[in-house]
Amino acid sequence: MRVPVITTNSMRVFMFLLALSSLLTHSIAASVYEAAFSVNHDHYLLRISSPSPSLGTFSLPTPPADAIEKLLPAYSCIAPTLVTQLTAGMNVTCSDGDVSVRFVSPPFEHADEIAAVGDDAAQLMGHLEALQKDGATPQRLEAVVKAEADRLGIDHESVLGGIERVSEWPLSIWDYFDPRHLVAWELNYLREHWGPLPPFPTYNQSNGESGVYDIATGKQVPLRAVREEGQPLDEEVRIAIASDWGAGTPETQAIANQLEGGFEPHYTVHLGDIYLIGSKKEIREHALGVRPSWAKRGVKWTHGSLASFALNANHEMYSRGYGYFDVLLPTLGPRDASTGHFGGQKASYFALRSPQWWLIFLDTGYYSYNKDGATPGQESHDNHQPQAVVQWLKNIIRPDDTRGLVFFTHHQYRSAFEGGYYATPRQLIDEGIVPANNRTVLWLWGHEHRLAAYAPGTQGGVPLMSYGRCVGNSGYPVLLASMPARARESKLQVYDNRVYATRDVKTVGYNGYARMYLNKDGTMKLQYFSVKLDPSTGQLDPQEGDLLMEDTWTVDQRGNVVLKDMQIINSDLTVVSHHGMDADEDPDLVLY
């Protein structure tokens, strides 16, 4: 007898299935048992035709490699030893007794068959399904179940076992503090983390792949033309940016809505972290919109009109990156204007170029657990770039190129709150890609779950001058922090330490995101937003966010990124005052 592994979602579906089984068999004749249920958005009808068949052990065919879910339906009142592994389209039969599982689509289409288990039970099932299709909240579903169960004379607490704590979305921010979820995630981590890494994908130069995209058009630049200036912008180009977003919470769906609504981005970019281990299942449910169960919605990443991209990160590498490389990247990349199809992101590094700017996106996740890429283990700060990426950077950036350099990584180069990850910035200097102490760049990162801004500076002994912007507050619960001890050393200017919500002894801050505007005149604007609460109800606004801060950037003749203007819009942000350092000593610390 093959027993599948039970995930947290499997257990939830399992408990709900048992409750529905009890409901559906309420008025069944003694010789027939039937139940309808859903796994993700695949729907099944299970029939067992004997009250106590001697089923013994039976085997099932190996499920397809991409099977969404493994489920353990155990009907203790019918057959204590019955263990069935279900996947879409699989027919299960047993010689000892009549057992069958049939794939049903659309859900509960065959009302006459379900009616065999009793009109009252079928009516409740149909009512629940109709409400779910109409977008009913879990609270509404719970109220219906209580009322209908009372009418049928059924213990509603048993029926509610699977849905009374169900959120409309896969998770809530408080689930990340729940020991039950933490234990389940730890088990998943232990199961997924050890083993060979997937090969690090690079661009196929024989096919002309360059990994460089023209900002104006979204088209990949031919390999022979990567050092050219690129097409001038005929209009403003908009890029939506989020990091640490893939938490599967109502806040992440609100951010996905707001990345698009009222902004209409040409590009969307995620700087990494889909929680908690970046498994294929989590990526489907937290980024691709696949429903975890009939009562929940999946969260879906927003795509740009020209292209969408995502960086690799440490949480994706908890499961060795297979979900990121095999499931997420094929859904991204440049968009075909004629078909609307996204052609797939071919590698975990890429660049966008214009005549004034290089936007360079690098993978600091792949080597975040083992620098030789062999077997993951303890997290490493030596998350350097593979030599293929170093050579790619040398091929696309001329030594005399004076365009502004903007780097994007998951891990931070600088920080007042935690340690930095210096391997990649050190490579840029050591390999001559950026001249030491002779170029100021802008660097955006995530990993730390907060919004923070840094004046130009260096850190970790790396002679690379950079402005810093941490935008890692897009999904995972934001933990608040008092003034960090390294605020002065790191040249921290401002950070968001506002209280978003409190439960028990836990207090969390606001999730947020960024919008980038590239203008025809060569300037660049960055706006930083957070989600907001409706003042009349105290509830999360799913469509509109709060503008917190705004930067305007230019490039000088030597290729230095220059902060032209910085505006603090929300007065509740924490502005850092460095006493004893005035404008004459360090003018970059002065806020506009």
Confidence of residue 101 (pLDDT cuts 50, 70, 90): very low
Q: Both 108 and 233 in a single domain?
A: no
**Which residues, in sequence order, are bridge partners of residue 478?**
509
> How many angstroms separate the CA atoms of 543 and 206, rounded?
45
Judge whether residue 115 has pLDDT over 60.
Answer: no
- 201 upstream amide cis, omega within 30 of 0: no
Tell me: the pLDDT tens digits for 438-453? Answer: 899 999 999 999 999 9
> What pLDDT does 527 receive?
99
Judge whether residue 276 has pLDDT over 60.
Answer: yes
Judge whether residue 16 has pLDDT over 60.
Answer: no
Q: Is residue 580 part of a domain?
A: yes
> How many angstroms separate the CA atoms of 344 and 340, rounded?
12
Question: For the chain, what percent of residues have pLDDT higher than 90?
Answer: 54
Q: Both 242 and 332 in a single domain?
A: yes
Q: Is residue 144 part of a domain?
A: yes
Say which CATH number the domain at 353 has: 3.60.21.10
Task: Name the domain count of the chain.
Answer: 2
Mean pLDDT over each residue of the chain, to the nearest integer:
77
pLDDT greater at residue 338 or residue 99? 338
Q: Both 202 and 158 in a single domain?
A: no
Least confident segment among 32-41, 55-64, 188-197: 55-64
Q: Is residue 177 part of a domain?
A: no
Judge whether residue 469 has pLDDT over 90.
Answer: yes
Tell me: the pLDDT tens digits for 515-562? Answer: 999 999 999 999 999 999 988 778 899 999 999 999 999 999 999 999
Q: Is residue 178 part of a domain?
A: no
> What pLDDT does 189 receive?
85
Q: Both 116 and 28 in a single domain?
A: yes
> What pLDDT does 479 receive?
86
> What pLDDT does 76 receive?
24
> How many angstroms separate the CA atoms of 554 and 565, rounded?
10
Q: Is residue 70 part of a domain?
A: yes
Q: Both 102 and 213 in a single domain?
A: no
Q: Is residue 179 part of a domain?
A: no
pLDDT greater at residue 373 or residue 48? 373
Query: Taking a C-beta distance cutoff of 8 angstroms, is the pair 533, 523 a contact?
Result: no
Q: Both 114 and 243 in a single domain?
A: no
In angstroms and rounded to an integer, the radius of gyration of the C-alpha atoms of the chain is 27
Q: Is residue 403 part of a domain?
A: yes
Q: Is residue 172 part of a domain?
A: no
> How many angstroms separate the CA atoms of 357 and 359, rounded?
6
- Residue 553, CB-side half-sphere exposure with 13 Å CA sphere: 28
Q: Both 160 and 214 in a single domain?
A: no
> How many angstroms separate the CA atoms of 592 and 590, rounded?
6
Can you give the residue range of the structural domain that contains 113? 8-166
Judge whether residue 113 has pLDDT over 50.
Answer: no
Q: Both 515 and 581 in a single domain?
A: yes
> How many angstroms separate the CA atoms of 441 and 561, rounded?
5
Query: Which class for 571: exposed (0-12), middle (13-18), buried (19 or more C-beta within 10 A)?
Result: exposed
Quickly list H helices, 62-176. 111-114, 119-133, 138-152, 156-159
Judge whether residue 352 has pLDDT over 80.
Answer: yes
Q: Both 416 and 311 in a single domain?
A: yes
> How many angstroms separate the CA atoms of 259 and 19, rounded?
39
Query: Taking a C-beta distance cutoff of 8 angstroms, is the pair 244, 229 a contact?
Result: no
Q: Which of 241, 511, 229, 263 is nearest to 361 (CA)?
A: 241
- 276 upstream amide cis, omega within 30 of 0: yes
**Residue 84 CA to its chain's centroid (Å):** 31
Residue whose pair of structure tokens reads 């490039």 in the numeric block: 555
Q: Both 110 and 162 in a single domain?
A: yes
Q: Both 93 and 233 in a single domain?
A: no
Q: Both 484 and 529 in a single domain?
A: yes
Least confident segment among 377-391, 413-427, 490-504: 377-391
